């Protein structure tokens, strides 16, 4: 009647649905396909130490500022120890304490990290470093080195690269032989670089971390040199001199300290291990939404208990089935028993699978019809007769289940999920149509219902569609829009074109 109103409503609903949909995909990163998985890494640090006679305090640096990665979950495994975590200059640290411990102890820290490109080093700009305290010859050597490197460089980045090249030449460099002994480790060289950079008034620090490779197993920490150019932190590989942080490098802690310290005991070793996993994208998304402070996850199906979620994953598909039936009835013109009976049968097909479902449906309805025709001869009243048919239908279903169990046909068992009340009503309705309008009409409508149920089943069973509707229930608004628009479709149905063909003028006549 008021089509403008209808179209406006449709447009509003469509916009709302698509906007929510887009927001959830773009901003919250909800996965579009069901099998989508996100790479996550399990990183683990095991601290083994020998406790002394008195109280023990073990400190472990743990990941805090991790550019390119975010922590999904972390846990600490330590029997009997008191635990605190706190911020520290090196990042974060966990501190385990115990009054008295006996024998070697192992403490574990485990974290689940995933790639998150949006995370950058959120550090503030550091102050200029103070001049390192050195003896006079070292001081002179450092100043000479700084002067030479400065001459060969243009900015902070090239200065750092040049300095690292000098350090890597090591003992052969006249200035550096003073600082570096024979066989210095990369860590020591990186350490030296920060000292000299401090001498040149450039803030620098060492970032320790691990490479998140795909093979599982033990890893060793690697060092990167972080240099602040006044605007942002730059990363340098102290050995290869390459600038930039590799994509798979997880920064664990910063600074000159070791990864773990033990007070009142002796550190035996710290082992780091990495394992790559694939995790359902939904989990990662939930966490991300939590961190972004979005409520869209709080109010999604994922907050429900798993069993309820399972129910809703089926329920949200019912409107889709109804949509299919609406299209088949109003645009094609298929006749069915009962408006939405085929949807319920289609739901039952989910358990039985299509072929078995159709077979079982046909068997039950035809046996039910036979019983119904027999009952007709007994001249029962309507409601007792319906009760009779219903009971017989249940017995038939039970019988089929038992027989198929004996024959080892698993599919026969799933018949228990058929909507028996609906089936009984269908049988009753079909037998009346049979009597009043003839067998052909009854069979036609019966087959029509079955075909519609099969089509609805196939569409409702599409895994990606189910996932899409479950994760983005707002898409059901589009079903509403489709129904609104179809509700004003007053054109012909496909089967009417055949029905009224006698009314269309033939080409010759026209």
Partner 1 sequence: MLSRYRALAEQGVLGLNKRNGDYILRFNPRRLFPLVDDKLKTKQLALQAGIAVPQLYGVIQTQYDIRSLPEIVRDHQAFALKPAHGSAGDGIVVISGRSGSRYRTIGGTLLDADFLSHHLSNAINGQFSLGGVPDVVIVEYMVRFSPLFERISYQGVPDIRVIVFRGFPVMTMVRLPTRSSHGKANLHQGAVGAGIDIASGVTLDGVVGTEVVTHHPDTTHAIAGLQIPDWDTILDISARCYELTGLGYIGVDIVLDRDLGPLVLELNARPGLAIQIANRQGLLRRLQICEARADFDASPEQRVDFAKREFQHPVGPLIEPQRIVTAAA
Interaction of residue 497 with partner 1, rule CB under 8 A: yes
The residue (of 410 and 496) whose beta carbon lies closer to partner 1 is 496
CA gap 326, 339 in Å, rounded? 9
Interaction of residue 487 with partner 1, rule CB under 8 A: yes
The residue (of 160 and 424) whose beta carbon lies closer to partner 1 is 424
Interaction of residue 5 with partner 1, rule CB under 8 A: no
CA separation, residue 30 to residues 34, 59, 320, 460, 464 (Å): 10, 38, 21, 21, 13
Q: Which residues contact 79 (CB under 8 A, 6 or more apart)?
A: none
The residue (of 231 and 382) whose beta carbon lies closer to partner 1 is 382
- In angstroms, give the least distance from the CB of 495 to partner 1: 10
Cβ(467)–Cβ(34) below 8 Å: yes
Location of structure tokens 């040199």? 225
Measured from the Cβ of residue 271, the count of other Cβ atoms closer than 10 Å reads 13
The residue (of 104 and 438) whose beta carbon lies closer to partner 1 is 438
Identify which range of 76-84, 180-188, 252-260, 432-440 contacts partner 1 by CB under 8 A: 432-440
Encoding tokens for residue 207? 């970032």
Identify which range of 87-95, 151-159, 314-322, 502-510 contacts partner 1 by CB under 8 A: 502-510
Is the torsion defined by CA of 438, 440, 443, 445 positive or negative?
Answer: negative
Q: Pick from 188, 351, 441, 466 the residue near partner 1 by CB under 8 A.
A: 441
Query: Which residues lie across from 272 on neighbouring strands?
Result: 45, 219
Cβ(178)–Cβ(138) below 8 Å: yes
Gyration radius from the chain CA atoms: 37
Interaction of residue 82 with partner 1, rule CB under 8 A: no
Of 459, 446, 424, the closest CA to residue 347 belongs to 459
The residue (of 15 and 497) whose beta carbon lies closer to partner 1 is 497
Q: Pick from 230, 379, 406, 407 the residue near partner 1 by CB under 8 A.
A: 379
CA gap 256, 123 in Å, rounded? 18
Location of structure tokens 């472990």? 60
Interaction of residue 381 with partner 1, rule CB under 8 A: yes
The residue (of 110 and 429) whose beta carbon lies closer to partner 1 is 429
Binding to partner 1 (CB under 8 A) within 280-339 occurs at 330, 333
Site string for partner 1, 386-425 (x = CB under 8 A): ----------------------------------------
Interaction of residue 509 with partner 1, rule CB under 8 A: no
Interaction of residue 99 with partner 1, rule CB under 8 A: no
CA gap 370, 359 in Å, rounded? 17
Q: Pick from 87, 382, 406, 408 the residue near partner 1 by CB under 8 A.
A: 382
Q: Pick from 432, 462, 463, 485 the residue near partner 1 by CB under 8 A.
A: 432
Dihedrals phi, psi of 106, to nearest 5 degrees: -125, 130
- In angstroms, give the least distance from the CB of 293 to partner 1: 47
Cβ(451)–Cβ(354) below 8 Å: no
CA gap 260, 274 in Å, rounded? 18
Interaction of residue 499 with partner 1, rule CB under 8 A: yes
Size of the site for partner 1 (CB under 8 A): 31
Residues of this chain that bind partner 1 (CB under 8 A) = 1, 330, 333, 379, 381-383, 432, 436-438, 441, 487-494, 496-505, 510
């Amino acid at each position: 009647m008021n089509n403008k109103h209808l179209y406006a409503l449709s447009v509003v609903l469509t916009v709302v649905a698509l906007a929510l949909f887009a927001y959830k995909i773009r901003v919250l990163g909800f996965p579009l396909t069901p099998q989508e998985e996100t790479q996550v890494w399990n990183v683990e640090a095991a601290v083994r130490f020998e406790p002394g006679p008195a109280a023990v305090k073990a400190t472990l640096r743990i990941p805090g500022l991790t550019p390119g990665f975010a922590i999904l979950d972390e846990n600490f495994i330590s029997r009997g120890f008191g635990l605190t975590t706190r911020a520290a200059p090196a990042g974060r640290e966990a501190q385990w304490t115990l009054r008295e411990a006996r024998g070697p102890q192992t403490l574990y820290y485990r974290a689940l990290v995933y790639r998150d490109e949006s995370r950058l080093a959120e550090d503030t700009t550091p102050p200029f470093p103070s001049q390192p305290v050195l003896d006079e010859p070292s001081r002179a050597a450092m100043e000479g080195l700084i002067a030479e490197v400065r001459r060969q460089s243009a900015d902070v980045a090239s200065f750092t690269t040049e300095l690292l090249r000098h350090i890597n030449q090591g003992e052969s460099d006249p200035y550096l032989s003073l600082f570096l002994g024979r066989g210095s480790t990369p860590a020591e060289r990186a350490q030296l670089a920060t000292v000299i950079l401090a001498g040149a008034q450039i803030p620098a620090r060492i970032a320790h971390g691990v490479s998140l490779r795909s093979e599982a197993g033990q890893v060793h920490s690697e060092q990167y040199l972080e240099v602040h150019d006044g605007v942002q932190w730059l990363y340098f590989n102290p050995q290869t001199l390459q600038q930039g942080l590799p994509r798979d490098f997880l920064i664990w802690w910063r600074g000159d300290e070791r990864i773990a310290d033990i007070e009142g005991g002796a550190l035996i070793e710290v082992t780091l291990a990495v394992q790559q996993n694939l995790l359902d994208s939904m989990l990662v998304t939930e966490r991300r939404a939590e961190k972004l402070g979005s409520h869209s996850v709080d109010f999604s199906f994922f907050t429900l208990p798993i069993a309820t979620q399972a129910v809703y994953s089926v329920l949200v598909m019912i409107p889709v089935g109804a949509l299919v039936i609406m299209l088949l009835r109003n645009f094609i013109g298929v006749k069915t028993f009962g408006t939405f009976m085929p949807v319920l049968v289609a739901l039952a097909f989910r358990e039985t699978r299509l072929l078995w479902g159709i077979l079982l449906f046909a068997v039950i309805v035809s046996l039910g019809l036979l019983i119904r025709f027999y009952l007709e001869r007994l001249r029962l009243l309507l409601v007792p007769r319906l009760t009779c048919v219903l009971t017989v239908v249940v017995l038939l279903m039970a019988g089929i289940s038992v027989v198929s169990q004996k024959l080892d046909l698993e599919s026969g068992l799933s018949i228990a999920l058929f909507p028996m009340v609906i089936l009984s009503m269908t049988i009753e309705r079909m037998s009346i149509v049979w009597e009043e309008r003839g067998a052909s009409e009854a069979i036609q409508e019966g087959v029509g219902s079955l075909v519609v149920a099969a089509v609805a089943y196939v569409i409702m069973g599409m895994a990606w569609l189910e996932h899409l509707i479950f994760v983005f229930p707002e898409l059901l608004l589009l079903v509403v829009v489709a129904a609104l628009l179809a509700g004003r479709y007053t054109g012909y149905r496909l089967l009417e074109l055949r029905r009224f063909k006698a009314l269309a003028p033939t080409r010759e006549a026209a």
